[in-house]
Amino acid sequence: MEVFLMQLFVFLTAAIIAVPIANKLGLGSVLGYLIAGIVIGPFGLSLVGQVEEVMTFTEFGIVMMLFLVGLELDPKLLWQMRIPILGVGGTQVILSSAVIGTVSLIFFPWQEALSIGLILSLSSTALVLHTLKEKGLMNTTSGRSIFSVLLFQDIAVIPMLALMPLLATMSVNDTSNAEHMIFDINALPGYLHLIVALLAVILIFFTGKFICTPVFRIIAMTKVREIFVAAAIALVIGASLLMDLVGLSEALGAFLAGVVLADSEYRHELESDLEPFKGLLLGIFFISIGASLNLTLIGDRILLIVGLTLGLIVLKGLVLVFTGFVFKMKGKELSLFTIALAQGGEFAFILFQFSRTNGILSNEIIEPLISAVAISMFIAPLLFKAYEKINANKQVEEKEEPISDGIEESGHKVILAGFGRLGTDIGRLLISSGIKPVIIDNDVANIEVLRKFGFKVYYGDITRNDLLKSAGADEAELLIITMSDIDTTIKIVELAKKHYPHLKIVANAADIEGQYKLIELGVSKIRRETFGTSLSMGGDALQALGIEPYQAYRMMRIFSKIDDEMISELFERFKESEESYIYTYQQHMENLEEIIALEMKFDVEGIDKAWTVYNPDK
């Protein structure tokens, strides 16, 4: 126990010292973790134990990360991203495996060459996602393409793990853990091994779908948050142990558990509760990568390992450039796509160990390749820095965000989430009408400016239930959401409907597709972000063309009324099929002029009531 605590103390202390220094020098936190690992590792100051112990100690970081990656895989999102996931991701993995495997075929038998190609085709999900989020690049076009590839790679690990035992070229030599296993999966015939593995996967899906949700519901009723966290961690560990028991990867079990719960009502609760553990464990994992660099082996075989590292980056880079061209990426988008994915990944450590256990690859092959993968991961943050230097005008300034403000107010009827351009105007209207909302925003710079003008704005992430609760959601009557990002808005709506069903919700949608998503969640008070401005400018345009002001005003109101009425029908067609939706939309556009002419002529009473036509309470 003392040894474990001492190693944990060394890891955390190294992170505390190295990461702020690395950030100060503009190197980023990942490179700071890696440098800290080299310094404290067996080949540095030797403050931690052997490399194998270090990697075992930190593998849980990968497990937790993949659970959360799986948790983010909303089935609807997967369907929407099916083309980039299968197209871009599939092309990258298949071509990288083929190219690296072909080169390896010069030196090794085809089974070993194929294994090496598959393993080295994968990139580092942990490193790349962490860096993209840190630099604010996740929501860019290239960021979404990179995420698609990483997503496909994570899913591709499943068939890779199933294929590995079939490629075995020698007897399994590693039986050191057999006595600790309930049964030895490798002793089964190949077809039974596959059946047992599939049954384990089915068990995870069954448990997550039909058992976990009612269990989480019971735990949530206790309102003891730490028990919820304990149950979530127990689920991750249980799924990991089951996969390990049947000879598959522990990380794969965690990933599958996350996928099963991605559509659960407790998804966001699990994400927010486990996020701190993931960040801490991933930091320790990056330190372990630095500590795993075998400097003695690298020194003895420097030319080989440098050649392997450069070969890996160059071969994958060429494949990525080709993939980018195929999918019409250009310029900075293509550069970031290539740089982000050219390194090896953390799954290589797991798959190399798996291939050793199954007798596919020998230590003489694995050790130099692991060193090359580790060095490539070390080089990756430097490539990101080079990209930023070359594209300095796109560089995202990194700032340490403060913790959420404490909200001690109570008794307010309205919570206003988001105080940007739209939220500020709504807030001014409410305040001038004698209604003082609790205002929350997550843009630090914006809050500082607004406070100078006398607005009382709190900082915080309102997608977290504890902040929404402290804002007075239990007592409030209305929640106004003005966020432009539809995914953030959806998270807030789901959270509010789950914990505060009494709250009325008025929400903003950037476009009509976002409006449909909110309608599907049961939000009836939705306004498209630019609709009001578009309507006003259209009225000004009509007047500029000589139409009388009142006539232009009436036409604006009729158009608004018709738009409200057609939304529900368009939404139903949108759910059916793209063809049906487009046809209905075209029909409405063709009939619009005639409808407005008739309304202008006859429906004077309807015009007077146009403001309340779409109000379901009337």
In terms of domains, do 211 and 85 share one? yes
Q: What SS3 class is residue 416?
A: strand
When divided into structural domains, the chain yields a total of 3
Sheet bearing 478-481, strands edge to edge: 457-459, 438-441, 414-417, 478-481, 504-509, 525-528
CA–CA distance, 257 with 70 (Å, rounded to integer) = 7
**What tokens appear for 218 in the block?**
């019971």
In terms of domains, do 560 and 483 share one? no
**Does the pLDDT at position 180 exceed 60?**
no
Query: Nearest-CA neighbor of 94 among 66, 69, 122, 70?
Result: 122
**What tokens appear for 575 in the block?**
């759910």
State the residue for tokens 């009612």: 214
In terms of domains, do 505 and 575 share one? no
**Does the pLDDT at position 436 exceed 90?**
no
**What tokens appear for 337 in the block?**
């796509």
**What tokens appear for 25 in the block?**
């020098």
CA distances from 245 to 174, 197, 338 (A): 15, 9, 37
| 26 Cβ neighbours under 8 A, 6+ residues apart | 385
User: Each residue of 302-316: pLDDT tens digit?
Assistant: 899 899 999 999 999
In terms of domains, do 519 and 545 share one? no
Residue 28 lies in a domain: yes
State the residue for tokens 């100690």: 57
Residue 403 lies in a domain: no
**What tokens appear for 328 in the block?**
């019409």
Residue 493 lies in a domain: yes
Q: Could you list the residue range(s) of the whole structural domain that residue 233 is in? A: 2-171+186-391
Higher pLDDT, 81 or 254: 254
Residue 325 lies in a domain: yes
| 440 Cβ neighbours under 8 A, 6+ residues apart | 407, 415, 416, 417, 418, 419, 457, 458, 459, 460, 462, 467, 471
By the 8 A CB rule, do 129 and 160 touch?
no
In terms of domains, do 425 and 493 share one? yes
Instruction: Give the DSSP per-residue string, 496-565.
Output: HHHH-TT-EEEEEESSHHHHHHHHHTT--EEEETTHHHHHHHHHHHHHHTT--HHHHHHHHHHHHHHHHH
CA–CA distance, 375 with 542 (Å, rounded to integer) = 65
- pLDDT of amino acid 322: 92
Instruction: Give the DSSP per-residue string, 173-197.
Output: ---TTGGGSSS-GGGS-HHHHHHHH
**Does the pLDDT at position 475 exceed 80?**
yes
**Does the pLDDT at position 506 exceed 80?**
yes
In terms of domains, do 65 and 125 share one? yes
CA–CA distance, 268 with 504 (Å, rounded to integer) = 21
- 387 pLDDT band, cuts 50/70/90, is confident
- 551 pLDDT band, cuts 50/70/90, is confident
> What is the CA angle 303-307-308, rounded to 5?
120
**What tokens appear for 615 in the block?**
């109000």
Neighbour tally for 326: CB within 10 Å:
12
CA–CA distance, 258 with 68 (Å, rounded to integer) = 6
In terms of domains, do 521 and 541 share one? no
- 120 pLDDT band, cuts 50/70/90, is very high
Q: What average pLDDT score do residues 60-64 get?
A: 67
Q: What average pLDDT score do residues 256-269 get?
A: 73
CA atoms within 13 A on the CB side of 95: 18
- pLDDT of amino acid 307: 92
**Does the pLDDT at position 462 exceed 90?**
no
In terms of domains, do 66 and 209 share one? yes
In terms of domains, do 206 and 338 share one? yes
In terms of domains, do 279 and 348 share one? yes
CA–CA distance, 336 with 25 (Å, rounded to integer) = 22
Average pLDDT, the chain: 76
- 320 pLDDT band, cuts 50/70/90, is very high
The CATH number for 416's domain is 3.40.50.720
**What tokens appear for 311 in the block?**
């070969």
Q: Report if pTM > 0.85.
A: no
- pLDDT of amino acid 501: 87
**Does the pLDDT at position 410 exceed 60?**
no
Helix (H) or strand (E) holding 366: helix 363-390
Residue 178 lies in a domain: no
By the 8 A CB rule, do 498 and 526 touch?
no
In terms of domains, do 363 and 433 share one? no
In terms of domains, do 374 and 480 share one? no
